[in-house]
Structures are given as C-alpha cells and as structure tokens.
Structure 1
C-alpha cells in the first residue's frame, strides 16, 4: 500500500453532525506508542513512523480522530471507536464500520471526491486495541468558511457541482432499505416506510431511555399521518445524512471548485431526500443545487418531496436533541435543534 504526500496545509478533519463544540482530546504517551505500532502494522514498514499527531475534536461526540503526518510526508486521518464506557445511541456502534464500507463503495464505483479507505478493523484485535478507520487526507477549505467571500456566480457553480455529486452517490442502489450495516449484510427492510419508521422509533427510544423532554406523541402522530408519502420511494439509494452540508464540503480557495466531500459517518439506504443538504436548499438558495442534481432540469421535483423532507428534518433534529442529552456540550446546538424540530412539526401539521 502506498501513500503520496499531501501538498495542502488544509487537512481532512471530520466535522461532527452533533455539537460542534465537542472537546479536542489530548494524546497520551501510550496512545502515541499504539498509533506508531498501527502505522507499521498497516503499511508493513518498520521504518515508517508518525512525525506528528494532531488530535481532532471528537466526532459525533464519541469518536477520537487524529491527523497523522508520516515520515514519508503523507497526511492521513485515523478515527477510532469510543471506549466501552461511552454511552451510545442505538446504531452508533456501527458508524465506523458503515463509513468504511461506504467509502469503499464510493471510491470503487464513482468519481466523487471522497477520502480513500486505507485500512479498517471492526474488532479490538489490532495494535490500537479498538476498532478504527484509517483514510486518506483531503485538501481544501470547508465551504462554511469560504461562503461569505463567494460571489453569486461562484456559489451557483459550487452548488451545481454539489448537486451533481449527490446525484452520483445516489446512483448506488441496494435491494433493501435501512442502515448500511443491515443492508449490506442482506437483512434490511423490504420498504422505505418500514425502514424509516424503525429509525425514528429507535431515536424516540433513545430519548425515552434518558428521559429527554420531546413531544413524543406529537412526533409519532404527524410522522404516521404522512407515512404514506414514504411509499413513493421504491428504489433504495445511498444517503449520506450529513453529506453536502457546508461544513462537510471542501472547496479549493483558488479555483473555487469542490474538491472533497466528507461526513460519511451516518449513512442509510433509502430516500436520497433524507440527506440534510436537501432541507438546506430552501434557505434562500438552491437553484444551482437542483440544476446539478437533476442534470439541468429542476422540474423533476415531485409534490411529495417537500413533505418527506420535513419528516426527515424531524428525524435529524430529534437525533441531535437526544445526542446532546447523552453527551452534553457547551453552546446552542441543542436549542437550535429543538427549534428546528418544533418548526418541522408545525409545518407537517399545517
């Protein structure tokens, strides 16, 4: 396995779909030793070492991540599973494994600029002593940082590229619906309605376990009232729930073109409209994105899409509220998620 050095000062650091104020962990001497052992084990070289280890903020509030600079000049990202004492939401224990599988599918079957999977393990039988994912480093600057300086024409071009990339990822299809680890194992749900309602119910049970104050009966009522719209989705497509959000899109500062997409930790197979980027297109922008997604013809949007997007907004904001209860952070992310949840429910009720 070979690696080429990164020529950019911008490294690939996974951004969290959960509170962005998650603390940055420190690196102990034992961790450094184990990371060195892992690098030698993965690349089968006794001479290759880490010359610099930069800890990154916890991802999804649970995964330790590191930007590693190797002695050959290459830059890579190491992401490891949380400790066994960390309380997880249902399904979170499979995020690393699912991300590894999805990245492999994308690099094998598409031209979408995503990090390449270099190595992964879903067991603790490795030098690190925990499940891990090792990926290549992507260059570029998050769109969220560049957005204020972009011209209207530059933003439209970026949105068009983003829409085209999301269309390319959604071309990957499966026989069943649901979480990646179930679908790729051949045990997903037979319909998108069944899969989505199961995802929602799991999030509500997570909330009940921690006695989180959310409108349980209201959520169940309005989602089930519109559940028939889910039956419009008959093809199971890859959905990166956090992919396409501004913090997850990497742009080259000089050319103003999209050079990387990250945020593949939460993926399901079902309705591509579940990705958060679709809900963001109503925030004063979107024509460029829709043109890119529909190949220049934005008339392809169906009537039921808007209602389904609202249902998915309920789900995503509910998960963010619950995650904040499991892993409290400083900042206003939970309040914003609650506002979004209430807004989406009110829209479904109107």
Structure 2
C-alpha cells in the first residue's frame, strides 16, 4: 500500500549535541540491567565536581527509561535514555530523545519560562553506547498527582497560564514542516498538508503492520478529501502535541501555579491547533493563548483531523505497549464519532 503522498522522509543523522562522551560503561547497566549507582556518580561528577547522587528513582511505565537523581548539593536531575532494543515503538517515536534535546535547547536559549534546563546529551547511533539526556528537574508536583484540592479559580488560572506557555512555544518557527529531527536534518516538508498526511500515513502503516483493526480506507478517504483545509497553515510553528497531559504540567504546591512543563518528545513543526489542548479548550486557556486561530473557517475541520489522528495514536500505542484497560475502547468510540462527523463535512 502506497503512502498518502508517496514518500516519507527518514534520517538517522542528528546535527545537535550538547556534549558527546563515551557511555559504554553506563549504557548496559542503565538500560538492560537496571541502574548502576557508580555509573550515575561518574556522570553527575563530570558536571558537579564534589557532588554525589544520594538517591535514584526510576519512573515506571515509560517507554524511554527515566531516572530521577537527588544530589548532595540539593539539585534534582532527570536522566532519560533510549528504550531497550526489544521495546516496540512506532516509526515516529524513533527520535523522541533527539526531539526533546533539540526542543529543550531551543526553548531554554529563547528564555521561555518553565522550561527545564538541559545539561548534557549524547546521541550515539551505534551500540553498545546508548543515547541519554540529562536535565534539571522542575520543582513541584505533576497535575496528575496532586493530593490537594484545586478550586475553580485555581483551574482557571492554570488554564490561562498553560495558554500563555503554548503561545510562547508557538512563537518559535522553522523553514519546513514536519517532525523535529526531519526538519533539523533539512528533509522536512514544504507544506503542512504534506507533513500531516505523511505523519498520519506513517501511523496507519504501523497500525496495519500490527494487525490492528481500524477503518483504514475511510480514514484515508476523509484525510485526503478534506486536506485542502490544511493549506491555511503557511508558517511552521513549534507544537508540543501532548502539552495538555496532566502528567506534563508541574504545579507549585504552595501557590498552585504552573511552575513548568516537562516532556517535549511530541514536538513537531506545524499547526498550533495540533496540540491536544485545542481539542476542547476552556475560555481561560484561549484567553491565555490570546489568538483567534479557532475563528478561521478551516479550523473545525483541521481540529477534527487532528483529533482523529490522536485517537488512532492512542489505539496503536495500546497495542505496541501491550497495555490493558479502557483507553482503547474509549479511543475507538471517539474515533467512530469523529469519522461520522467528518463524513458530513465538505471543504472548501
């Protein structure tokens, strides 16, 4: 089966590096055998002479292994590494570590508030070394893990702040559309329509290869039939698709204000409306974002296409992660409703 546009760019090059150090001594313990305390100590001492990691905690359930390091100098660091070779991942998940490193560097250099500082990154392409990203931790607690009550005013304030963060991130632009690693390598797309259809087609190829039952012909038909709506997007903006996930929003437990955002692996260059927060935005979020993007004639169709993409992505991830639960059924119900709505629409 041919891709929607006949070609999907891929690359294994990565032009950006903070620091490239040999990791052969740390790669195997970190990924295959669990954390090696001495390996962590050697890594952090290269940055903070005299300091030591006093406690190491691994985040469960993450495809890209994440370790939290508490340092003797009071700092808290986060170390993210590549997944083990046997971990099944989607095609567009192959360069998530590179994506996050690139985006963190860009946003930190631009002085965007609430962005964790990147400290070191090494992205080798050949085993036995493994890629890793070391960054500062953001003080606070994830919105998904808060143990204190939030009032209606608290939630409105959080939404306004999140809207402002999305606006600040979206002010970053590029010369091409597409995945961050593709654009960084000069093989992005000239138009957003090309980039999105290629991205969507890649996801459906992964789903078909895993024998996931989905109405592929119907999805492709609607995507192509309504793709002219995507031509309204003419400037590639930086978009963090999953920025609205409660686990990615860090709150100050004392002020109940947003202290930062974490996880930029879903970033791409495209339409700001691609972010999940535009699926059902609150008035406070839109006020914080401060733009009339949703008033454009093509916006409802674009939003539906993006929502359809995210539903397929949720279903595919359930299969690739071998997860059990209600998320797949919920995503299928939403997808069915989305396709029914798309079938009633025409553009232009």
TM-score band (shorter)? 0.7 to 0.9
Determine the C-alpha separation between the residues in 1 that align with 2:225 and 2:160: 34
Equivalent of 1:334, from 313, 328, 334? Answer: 328
CA contact (8 A) 2:278 2:303 kept: yes
CA contact (8 A) 1:27 1:55 kept: no
Give 1:300 deviation, angstroms. 6.2
Per-residue Cα deviation, 1:317-337 (whole angstroms, up to 9, x for no partner): 211211211121132222222
CA contact (8 A) 1:110 1:168 kept: no
The corresponding residue for 1:272 is: 272
The corresponding residue for 2:44 is: 39
TM-score with structure 2 setting the length:
0.84
1:93-242 matched pairs, under 5 angstroms: 93-123=94-124, 129-146=129-146, 149-242=149-242
CA contact (8 A) 1:252 1:259 kept: yes
Is residue 2:49 matched to residue 1:55?
no
Determine the C-alpha separation between the residues in 1 that align with 2:53 and 2:146: 31
SS of the residue 1:139 aligns to: coil
Over the residues paired in the alignment, what is the CA RMSD in angstroms?
2.4
The corresponding residue for 2:258 is: 258
1:6-45 matched pairs, under 5 angstroms: 28=33, 31-41=36-46, 43=47, 45=49
- Structure 1 segments of 4+ aligned residues over 4 angstroms from their partners: 25-30, 145-148
Distance 1:177 1:250, change over 3 A: same
Unaligned runs of 5+ in 2: 1-29
SS of the residue 2:134 aligns to: strand
Determine the C-alpha separation between the residues in 2 that align with 1:185 and 1:29: 33
Give 1:302 deviation, angstroms. 1.7
Give 1:145 deviation, angstroms. 4.4
The corresponding residue for 2:18 is: none
Equivalent of 1:346, from 332, 340, 348? Answer: 340
Give 1:27 deviation, angstroms. 9.3
Per-residue Cα deviation, 1:125-175 (whole angstroms, up to 9, x for no partner): 89x931011111012222344598322222222211111111110000001
Unaligned runs of 5+ in 1: 1-24
Equivalent of 2:286, from 290, 302, 327? Answer: 290
Equivalent of 2:315, from 317, 321, 325? Answer: 321
Give the length in aligned residue pairs.
315
Is residue 2:302 matched to residue 1:301?
no
Determine the C-alpha separation between the residues in 1 that align with 2:98 and 2:238: 15
Distance 1:178 1:164, change over 3 A: same
CA contact (8 A) 1:229 1:308 kept: yes
CA contact (8 A) 2:312 2:335 kept: yes
Give 1:26 deviation, angstroms. 10
